[in-house]
Amino acid sequence: MSTTRRRRPALILLVTAAALGCLALAWWQWTRWESSSGSFQNLGYAMQWPLFAGFCFYAYFKFVRYEEAPPEPHPQDTVTEIPAGLLPERPKAGAAQDVDPTLRDYNVYLADLAKADADADDHKHRGTGT
């Protein structure tokens, strides 16, 4: 008997406990929805938790199927290509056109302010040894 078959009862107990936990949370959310402080969010959660419980069993059956007949491994020597048109095109860098003289003057002004700020910062720290 394989080691995975010997562990199957423990896995069944784990899946059952997880599903029962999900159903308990669904019941708790249902009682919260019925209370005076309940909202439709609680109702939504009460409907979601049984789906999660069902997913526990679905995942268990998929695991058992993969265990008995694993899928074919992907060959390592083949190249996987992304189909053309799947990803958006990279944006093309446009030519830098400086047609607005006001914007150019403002950028020069900002560059001068940044340089003056850096110079003032250098003078402030020059004598402290840091």
Structure confidence by residue, pLDDT tens digits, 90-118: 888 776 666 788 988 999 999 999 999 98
Question: What's this model's pTM, rounded to 2 decimal places?
Answer: 0.51
| Number of other residues whose CB lies within 10 A of the CB of residue 56 | 17
**pLDDT reading at 75 higher than 90:** no
The angle subtended at Cα 51 by Cα 25 and Cα 7, nearest 5°, is 85
Instruction: Work out the end-to-end distance of the chain between its first and last CA atoms, rounded to an integer number of angstroms.
Output: 71
* Average pLDDT over all residues of the chain: 86
Domain boundaries defined on the chain: 3-68, 100-130
For residue 29, give the nearest of 18, 8, 44, 15 by alpha carbon.
44
* Per-residue confidence (pLDDT) for residue 6, from 0 to 100: 63
Dig out the tokens for 8 from the structure: 């199957």
* Per-residue confidence (pLDDT) for residue 115, from 0 to 100: 94
CA 70 – CA 53 distance, rounded (Å): 25
Section 68-79 average pLDDT: 82
**pLDDT reading at 73 higher than 60:** yes
Section 2-8 average pLDDT: 65
Higher pLDDT, 3 or 12: 12
CA 120 – CA 130 distance, rounded (Å): 15
